[in-house]
């Protein structure tokens, strides 16, 4: 269980209804939600990323069965497909460490707008380009460099003992070349870091009013989130524009 699951769950609120996790990966958070809340949980992910590991599907199936979540509640789709859920059928959409992997954010946000009920909302916890240390490799600025500079940066910082290389060497017997090659490819092909402002703009253009929140216990104020975004992931909460207008949300 990841340390932020309980915080995300608290932010979702102690309600009932349908919740859809986008980018459910191994199904860890989905099963956490099923065990610790009264939400009716649904999940989805794409074949091109999480699904490209051969045994992933069976690991996910096993985990869902253990948590007594019906398998049909976790949908696999292709990148760019519409979300495989009815329009206006979901109370809450949630994603964890996923938006920085989504290639077409505009498409995804439009789909979230479509599947949410009128008074529904979405909560995303993810790192933006403002973060100083790439959270995947643990190496400063690795997510901001082109491939050539990144390979050098990954090797340089790893030799200094900075980042995740030591752990990968100890636990998975990686050598430096393998670490540099894999993380360079991962960041190049599977990461799409964006600025806070770009995420907010895409959200607004998709009909979703968005609000920035730093991780609790920090005060839920957007300028605090902007500072904190240099060091850790932040939250974006979205509401359908019509509903936000109705509620007077800023």
Binding residues (CB under 6 A) for ligand SAM: these are: 22-23, 25, 28-29, 44-46, 49-50, 79, 96-98, 101-102, 108
* Beta carbon nearer to ligand SAM, 108 or 133: 108
CB of 75 to ligand SAM, least distance (A): 10
CB of 248 to ligand SAM, least distance (A): 31
Which residues make Cβ contacts (< 8 Å) with residue 148, sequence separation at least 6? none
How far apart are alpha carbons 162 and 166 in whole angstroms? 8
How far apart are alpha carbons 141 and 137 in whole angstroms? 10
How far apart are alpha carbons 140 and 133 in whole angstroms? 4
* Beta carbon nearer to ligand SAM, 64 or 244: 64
CB of 177 to ligand SAM, least distance (A): 23
Specify the DSSP class assigned to residue 192. Answer: -
* Beta carbon nearer to ligand SAM, 96 or 139: 96
* Beta carbon nearer to ligand SAM, 60 or 210: 60
CB of 49 to ligand SAM, least distance (A): 3
CB of 99 to ligand SAM, least distance (A): 8
How far apart are alpha carbons 63 and 31 in whole angstroms? 7
Burial 16-44 (b: 16+ CB within 10 A, else e): eebbbbbbbbebbbbbbbbeebebbbbbb
* Beta carbon nearer to ligand SAM, 32 or 244: 32
């Amino acid at each position: 269980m990841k340390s932020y699951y309980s915080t995300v769950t608290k932010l979702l609120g102690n309600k009932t209804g349908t919740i859809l996790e986008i980018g459910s990966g191994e199904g860890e958070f989905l099963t956490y939600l099923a065990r610790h809340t009264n939400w009716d949980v649904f999940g989805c992910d794409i074949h091109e990323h999480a699904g490209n590991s051969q045994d992933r599907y069976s690991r996910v199936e096993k985990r869902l069965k253990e948590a007594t979540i019906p398998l049909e509640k976790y949908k696999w789709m292709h990148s760019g497909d519409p979300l495989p859920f009815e329009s206006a059928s979901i109370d809450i959409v949630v994603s964890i460490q996923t938006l920085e992997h989504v290639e077409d954010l505009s498409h995804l946000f439009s789909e979230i707008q479509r599947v949410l009920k009128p008074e529904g909302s979405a909560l995303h916890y993810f790192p933006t380009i403002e973060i100083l240390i790439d959270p995947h490799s643990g190496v400063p600025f690795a997510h901001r460099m082109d491939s050539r500079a990144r390979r050098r940066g990954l090797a340089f910082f790893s030799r200094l003992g900075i980042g995740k290389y030591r752990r990968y060497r100890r636990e998975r017997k990686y050598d430096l070349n393998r670490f540099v090659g894999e993380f360079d490819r991962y960041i190049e092909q599977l990461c799409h870091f964006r600025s806070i402002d770009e995420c907010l703009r895409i959200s607004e253009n998709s009909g979703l009013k968005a609000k920035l929140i730093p991780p609790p216990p920090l005060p839920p104020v957007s300028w605090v989130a902007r500072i904190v975004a240099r060091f850790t992931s932040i939250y974006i909460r979205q509401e359908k524009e019509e509903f936000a207008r109705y509620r007077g949300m800023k």
